[in-house]
Amino acid sequence: MILLGVNVDHVATLRQARYRNESNTFGGFVEPDPASMAWLAEEAGADGITMHVREDRRHVQVEDVQRYLEHKKTRLNLEVSLSEDMVKLALSLNPDSVCLVPENRMEVTTEGGLDVVGNLARAKEAVDEFAKKNIPTSMFIDPDYSQLEASAKIGSQWVELHTGSFARAWHDVQKRDHELNVLKKGMEIGLSLGLQVNAGHGINYQNVEGAKKLDRVTEFNIGHSIICRSLNQGLPEAVSTMRRLLNS
């Protein structure tokens, strides 16, 4: 069984398109509400929820995470950067797990994996801090041997492989097969290092047929495509269909 984690960041992106100039502490209900959509996703079969609180709070707000946690039914995978302030924030929210990701102020969504090799000391500090509170930590990385090895070296319990290159290559069969093989190799290396291997970024209702060939991946974290489909079909249908496609 491949697990499905649903990322609700893009619900917050849509909300912030109208409310970005409002106070971070929303005085009343504003829509769309990431917490409410997360609860709907759980009811539809999501195995977990992912939220990314960025340093500049461009989409998910701390209050969204706090509201979700009040009625959480599954588990929260919180994505944050390596910065000291964001690690402290994540510790205060006490999620079920943390995924450390790179941040670029110019990007709308995360584009590329974290350079664990180049940030080895800081990444280890963060992993150690989370370990003190029994919060398992993942590294969002490209399927590169050196990054996988570094993730295992610092004590990360699992990794999330960045599938963006595979997703972009989907309509070019030759490139698609190459990128899938790169991911398969990364998956096998990660497992050989004792890491749980998750994956995500750019997976949609078409390329999921190829992505699920990574059959030893524990969980796919998928957001944008599910939220897009939910605009037409409704979130429960969007989540349940993706979960069925992963395992059919």
Q: Quick check: is 171 catalytic? A: no
Helix%, strand%, coil% for the chain, nearest 5? 50, 15, 35
**CB crowding 19-33: b at 16 or more within 10 Å, else e:** eeeeeeeeeeeeebb
Q: 10, 59, 162, 201: which is the annotated catalytic residue?
A: 201
What is the distance between the alpha carbons of residues 103 and 82, in angstroms, rounded to a whole number? 9
Q: Quick check: is 52 catalytic? A: yes
Which residues does 120 contact at the CB level (< 8 Å), separation at least 6? 150, 153, 154
Q: In what helix (H) or strand (E) does residue 3 lie, and over which residues does it extend? A: strand 3-7
C-alpha 169, offset from chain centre: 20
Q: 52, 59, 103, 219: which is the annotated catalytic residue?
A: 52
For residues 4 and 220, the answer to whether their CB atoms sit within 8 Å is yes
Q: Quick check: is 43 catalytic? A: no
Q: In what helix (H) or strand (E) does residue 140 lie, and over which residues does it extend? A: strand 137-141
Q: 79, 103, 160, 219: which is the annotated catalytic residue?
A: 79
Measuring CA to CA, how many Å separate 212 from each of 127, 169, 200?
Answer: 29, 16, 11
Catalytic residues: 52, 79, 201
